[in-house]
Structure formats: C-alpha cells, structure tokens
Amino acid sequence: MMLIPCPFCGHRNESEFTYGGPVKPDRPDPNATSDEDWVEYLTTVPNPFGPVQERWWHARGCGTWLTIWRDTRTHDIVEGPSDAE
C-alpha cells in the first residue's frame, strides 16, 4: 500500500485512490491522424523500467485526478503533483 500525495489532502493511503493508468501523450485530433498513429495512441503506453508518469483518482477522498511520477522498479514516488507546479 503506497502513500500517495494528493495536492488537496496531502499524503493518503493508496486504498483511497483509483488507479488511472500511465499518462498518454495528448489526444490527437482523431480527424487529422493516420490509422497507425491513432492505434499507437490507443494501445501503446509508456512502459518504462523506471519512472512513469501516471494518474490516480482520489475517488475515496477529495475527487482530484492527480499526476505523479512513480518508479516502477521501487514504487518510490519520485515526483508528486505539487512538485510539478
């Protein structure tokens, strides 16, 4: 169980959050993107052996969708949401 930094609530237990997956690049304009690029956008996410940028929803908390950088090797949160601001 991780301790996830919420920008509103501070550090909270992972069980209060819903995992939102790795942050993808910005959604391309679906009408101006090739099939290949669209499929790549949908199916291929960053999968680093190291820090990954990802979203969590503080669903059993203040409701914030937040972004952190978490090292997939250690689960250490190397950059919290407030660090990015």
Chain residues in the site for another protein (CB under 8 A): 1-3, 7-10, 12-16, 18-20, 22, 27, 29-31, 33, 35, 38-40, 42-45, 47, 49, 52, 54-55, 57, 59-65, 67, 70, 72-75
| Nearest-approach distance from CB 64 to another protein, in angstroms | 6
Fill in the amino acid letter for 6: C
Minimum Å gap between C-beta 83 and another protein is: 17
Provide the minimum distance between the beta carbon of 79 and another protein in the complex, in angstroms, as a whole number: 15
Dump the DSSP string for 3-63: EEEETTTEEEEGGG-EEEEEPPSPPP-GGGS-HHHHHHHHH-----SSEEEEEEE-TTTT-
The DSSP call for residue 66 is E
